[in-house]
């Protein structure tokens, strides 16, 4: 998909993507679960293609060595994941304005998913990344 826009629940963070977005992946790692309340679905784009239209409430958290997560400091919206240094940034698919034109491609870190749900959509599953 080429070009998209999105933002957090309260509107404090709005962004535009001028280039291509990858088909999203569902990450079931424990860090994504703790930042989103469940698994996180993210789509990648080139960091250079992401423009912040409004970032007054954007905050970054260094969640592990070499990885940072962007979120809204007002409404708590989970927005971005980026390995540093990185030319790619992952955008949480739920923050994209509809219609997205995207389709879930695969599941990663299924070995650490929680026990309260099953993955039964027939898409590829990886124990890690």
Please tell me the predicted confidence (pLDDT) of residue 86: 82
Please tell me the predicted confidence (pLDDT) of residue 85: 81
Question: Is 13 a domain residue?
Answer: yes
Q: State which H helix or E strand residue 64 sits in.
A: strand 58-64
Question: Is 37 a domain residue?
Answer: yes
Give the CATH number for residue 51: 2.170.150.70
User: Which residues neighbour 121 within 8 Å (Cβ) at sequence distance 6 or greater?
Assistant: 104
**Contact, 101 vs 1, CB < 8 A?**
yes
Q: How many structural domains compose the chain?
A: 1
Q: How far is the C-alpha of 47 from the C-alpha of 34, rounded, in Å?
A: 24
Domain containing 101: what range? 2-110
Q: Average pLDDT across each block of 10 residues of the chain; the chain has 129 residues. List them in order.
A: 90 97 96 93 97 97 93 96 91 96 97 95 95
Please tell me the predicted confidence (pLDDT) of residue 2: 73
């Amino acid at each position: 998909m080429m070009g998209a826009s999105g933002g957090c629940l309260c509107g404090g963070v709005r962004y535009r993507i001028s280039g291509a977005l990858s088909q999203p992946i569902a990450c079931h790692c424990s860090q994504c679960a703790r930042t989103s309340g469940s698994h996180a679905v993210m789509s990648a784009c080139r960091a250079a293609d992401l423009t912040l239209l409004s970032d007054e409430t954007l905050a970054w958290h260094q969640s592990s060595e070499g990885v940072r997560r962007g979120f809204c400091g007002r409404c708590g919206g989970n927005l971005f994941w980026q390995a540093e240094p990185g030319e790619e940034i992952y955008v949480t698919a739920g923050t994209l304005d509809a219609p997205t034109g995207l389709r879930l491609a695969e599941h990663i870190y299924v070995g650490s998913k929680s026990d309260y749900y099953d993955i039964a959509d027939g898409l590829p599953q990886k124990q890690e990344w």
